[in-house]
Structure 1
């Protein structure tokens, strides 16, 4: 192991869904290690995130892209000619049984699994040119039922198998594809649990390490997967949950 194993100076990194939460933490982790980082987000400009908790776009390029729209994905300008790391951290979840309805189901599936395929395929050549990495953020919800969120559970399970399929298909092109399956991390997507004391304490009691995961925990795993330290890791989704699913 060398300090240079996690030096990404001059590398090009695109983080989809990198404007806040886990994706933003990953984007800043790569920037701190010298990478050129660009993120895709949902708002019109980076300035629209100013003051938001868990959102720091300092030193990072930004483009608004609707990941639920194939047209938006294909028409967005490419941030780099070659891409060393493509991180999929886009995500959607709908509550109050909205995912049981066709519109809710279609929206969540389009963002959580459809866009992963369409964006990866769009940048295949740019990744191949750099012998790059694709990292897909899924969820431990991929491996068990999530009450009230059938589209979320199905899409995350699909993302795990998509990681396997793309890894097998693209390994010969020099592209490694892997994933991360976090448990509860305190971000805006998990406020429905984190902001309710009873739900929060009940969830915490299931974690052997005795704490929730942090954005930094997930960023560290992403840096590892993109580094030479993980050069022989291919098609895997690493469960990063503090032991919650044991």
Structure 2
């Protein structure tokens, strides 16, 4: 019998996948058999990631397309190119996102808009464009990478908290409209994950101690911790899971 987690023959687009969580998700999907399309705005970093993953999985199963997820025209052109040159997108991970650390009273309107545009509007634009093809085909998997901050808040990350809360409800809105067409739309909400982008927080002794004490698992998450849930939500094993946000946070969100 074929495993319900087997992604052989599926085509997956992962935004923001030249490094960090996105790259690990793309790698994990490819390990499960998928053909992957990487995305980013830094062409050099994207090309490097594509080369590395192609060496592991084969050049025929690893592709890359640099485009700005906040630009509707660029998104339309990129999705059209992917579906023409690689194939119809079966799986989409809206992973691209940014953080901004500053007290709310000091946040500029430009910085507020930048976080909202990338973390929410980008997911809407890419999700909407990809969903049109999925709806026509009667099947598709969309996974939005939310955050523990979709439900929680802490000082100095107000724009990010607002954006990730909106992304949680965008996941529900997508489900309400697209589930009837055979799509499953869900989210993954990582807790504090140790990546190159959070290394400065890990190195902060006071903050690191707070994380270790605040998280029941007693450790930071790793990018590998996200891969299993990602493959599950991308696979046939989750065909009746819809509109859910799965917290992968070591228990942080369930304790006070």
**Fold shared per TM-score above 0.5:** yes
1:104 aligns with 2:105: no
Native 8 Å contact 2:24 2:224 kept in 1:
yes
The SS at the match of 1:79 is helix
Q: TM-score, normalised to structure 1's length?
A: 0.91
Native 8 Å contact 2:39 2:46 kept in 1:
no
Native 8 Å contact 1:177 1:234 kept in 2:
yes
Matching residue of 2:203? 195
Matching residue of 1:224? 232
Q: Deviations over 1:5-64 (max 9, x none)?
A: 1111111000011111111111001111111100111212456546xxxx9533421111
1:116 aligns with 2:123: yes
Q: In the alignment, which of 77, 81, 103 is matched to residue 78 of structure 1?
A: 81
Structure 1, gaps ≥5 residues long = none
1:133 aligns with 2:135: no
Q: Deviations over 1:189-215 (max 9, x none)?
A: 323312212211211111111221111
Matching residue of 1:57? 53
The SS at the match of 2:123 is helix
Q: Deviations over 1:104-148 (max 9, x none)?
A: 000000000001111111111322326110000010111122311
The SS at the match of 1:4 is coil
In angstroms, what is the RMSD of aligned CA positions? 2.0
Matching residue of 2:13? 14
The SS at the match of 1:147 is coil
Q: Deviations over 1:143-163 (max 9, x none)?
A: 122311211000000000000
State the aligned residue count. 241
Alpha-carbon distance change, 11 to 70 in structure 1, aligned in 2, over 3 angstroms: same
Per mean C-alpha deviation after superposition, the further-off stretch among 91-100 and 134-143 is 91-100
Q: TM-score, normalised to structure 2's length?
A: 0.87
Q: Which is richer in helix?
A: 2
Structure 2, gaps ≥5 residues long = none
Matching residue of 2:36? 37
Native 8 Å contact 2:46 2:64 kept in 1:
no
